[in-house]
Structures are given as structure tokens and as C-alpha cells.
């Protein structure tokens, strides 16, 4: 009973549930997704044989896991996964950094916004996948063409969210800073940039997904290494289990990157409530 009273008192004072209550909520929140995952995996294992689905269309889960853990193929998977991850990481770093810097400039300098934003929207409307063959012609089959595709795909989500974040600051707060003698630089550094961080990290969460997508699509068009190349090779050889194994690797990388961004967001934007 005292523990219950103490927990209720803590929640009333802080406005947040205590650690045990948060843990219970996380467990309840995970129960449904995990239950659905178990059902999905069981269906994947037994449905193909029960429905007489050919293995080249939908292999059983056990066959996919065998292909994934094949000792002869696993080193090749890991090497090419590292290659694709490097392409995505370099492109993401360049695209996100450019998105933040240019987004701040466009949000702060109205002349630049009015001049360049219509062209940015026009470029954004062009499917980047359609530009991938052109980049291969310009930059070759090496890593450069893949990085350029990733940069274009990751630049715009971060740019748009940065502009929205900078413009979301309450004008009255800006006036309050100025009345108290804050310089323009201090206002931007201590008010506008912190206020825009949640928006920037939202753009980063989208950009992480787009980075892996861009790297794989660019490898489909033309590459010598990478998971995209292995997927095409497995497709041509009708090794569907290997294709699914490579997709599992891609999904694992994508989920890991997304969780990493979320973790950094919780550490940096610590004042925002977490669910």
C-alpha cells in the first residue's frame, strides 16, 4: 500500500508515471506486436507447404534461415552489407548536414527562401530513382553515384523539417529574448535551434529509411558490390530464399539505424516527453 501511495504521489508531482509503471506500459505495448510477429512467423513456416506454394515463390522460414546462416554465404553477406551501410552512412551524413545548414539559412533569410525554395520543390518532385541511371553515367559504377542518390533522398526531409522547426518558434519568445538584451546569435543558438531539434530529428528518422532505400536502388541500377547486387544475383539464379535472407539483413540494418536515431533524439532532445 505505501508503495502505491508513493507511486501516485510521484506521478501527481512530476506529471509522469514512475519507472515501474512505464515498464508495465512498455510490456503491454509490446505484447500485441510480438504476438503478431509470432503468428506471422508460424504462418510463414507452415503455410507454404500446407498451400503447396512452390519454394521459388515463397520458401519456408526454415529455408530462409538456412540461407541466412549459410557459412559459405554469410561472410559475403556481411561484407556487402558493410559496403551498402557505408554508402548509406556517407550519403546520410552529407545530405542531413546540408539539409540542416541550408534549412536554417532559408528560414532566416527571406530573400534566399523566396529565390531558391521553388526550385528545391521542383527538384524534390522529380523521382530520384529515375535519376539513378543518369548518376551512374556521370559518376560511374563506384561508390560516388550511390552516395549522390542517397544525398538527394536524405536532403529534402531534413531540409523541410528544419525550415518548419525554425519557423515554429513563438514570435513572443523571440521578442522576449531581444528585450532581455540577447543578440541575434544568442537567440538562434539558445532558442530557435533547440526549438527546431524535434523537427530535425523527425526529418532524420525519415532520412535514415531513405538512405538505405537510395543505396539499394542505386546498386540495382549499376554497382560492383553491395546488398543490391547480391539481391539481383539471387533473383537471376531463382534463389528466393537467399533474396528473403538479404531482405532480413536490410530490415535489421534499417531498424537498427532508426533505433539509433531515436536513442540520440532522447538524449539530445531530453526535454520532450517520450512515449
How many Å apart are CA 86 and CA 229, to the nearest integer?
A: 15
pLDDT at 24: 75
pLDDT(69) > 60: yes
List, for residues 204-262, the tens digit of each pLDDT value. 999 998 999 889 988 888 778 888 899 998 888 888 889 999 999 998 998 898 889 88
List, for residues 7-64, the tens digit of each pLDDT value. 544 444 445 555 677 777 777 767 777 888 888 888 888 888 888 888 888 888 888 8
pLDDT at 9: 47
Q: What is the pTM of this model?
A: 0.79
Which are the contacts of 50, defined by CB distance < 8 A and separation ≥ 6?
A: none
Q: What is the DSSP letter of 191?
A: I
40 in helix, strand or coil?
helix
pLDDT at 16: 52
CA distances in angstroms from 241 to 38, 55, 235, listed in the order given = 20, 8, 10
What rounded mean pLDDT belongs to the chain? 82
Amino acid at each position: 500500500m505505501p508503495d502505491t501511495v508513493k507511486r501516485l504521489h510521484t506521478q501527481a508531482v512530476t506529471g509522469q508515471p514512475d519507472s515501474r509503471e512505464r515498464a508495465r506500459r512498455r510490456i503491454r505495448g509490446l505484447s500485441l506486436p510480438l504476438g503478431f510477429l509470432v503468428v506471422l512467423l508460424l504462418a510463414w513456416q507452415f503455410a507454404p507447404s500446407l498451400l503447396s506454394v512452390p519454394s521459388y515463390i515463397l520458401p519456408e522460414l526454415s529455408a530462409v534461415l538456412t540461407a541466412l546462416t549459410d557459412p559459405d554465404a554469410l561472410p559475403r553477406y556481411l561484407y556487402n552489407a558493410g559496403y551498402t551501410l557505408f554508402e548509406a552512412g556517407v550519403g546520410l551524413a552529407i545530405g542531413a548536414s546540408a539539409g540542416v545548414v541550408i534549412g536554417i539559412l532559408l528560414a532566416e533569410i527571406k530573400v534566399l527562401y523566396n529565390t531558391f525554395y521553388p526550385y528545391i520543390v521542383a527538384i524534390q518532385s522529380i523521382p530520384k530513382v529515375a535519376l539513378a541511371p543518369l548518376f551512374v553515367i556521370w559518376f560511374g559504377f563506384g561508390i560516388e553515384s550511390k552516395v549522390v542518390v542517397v544525398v538527394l533522398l536524405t536532403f529534402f526531409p531534413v531540409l523541410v523539417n528544419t525550415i518548419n522547426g525554425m519557423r515554429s518558434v513563438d514570435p513572443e519568445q523571440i521578442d522576449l529574448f531581444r528585450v532581455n538584451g540577447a543578440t541575434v546569435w544568442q537567440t538562434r543558438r539558445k532558442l530557435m535551434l533547440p526549438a527546431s531539434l524535434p523537427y530535425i530529428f523527425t526529418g532524420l528518422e525519415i532520412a535514415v529509411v531513405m538512405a538505405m532505400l537510395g543505396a539499394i536502388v542505386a546498386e540495382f541500377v549499376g554497382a560492383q558490390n553491395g546488398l543490391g547486387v547480391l539481391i539481383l544475383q539471387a533473383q537471376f539464379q531463382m534463389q528466393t530464399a537467399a533474396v528473403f535472407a538479404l531482405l532480413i539483413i536490410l530490415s535489421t540494418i534499417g531498424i537498427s539505424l532508426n533505433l539509433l536515431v531515436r536513442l540520440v533524439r532522447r538524449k539530445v532532445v531530453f526535454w520532450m516527453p517520450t512515449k
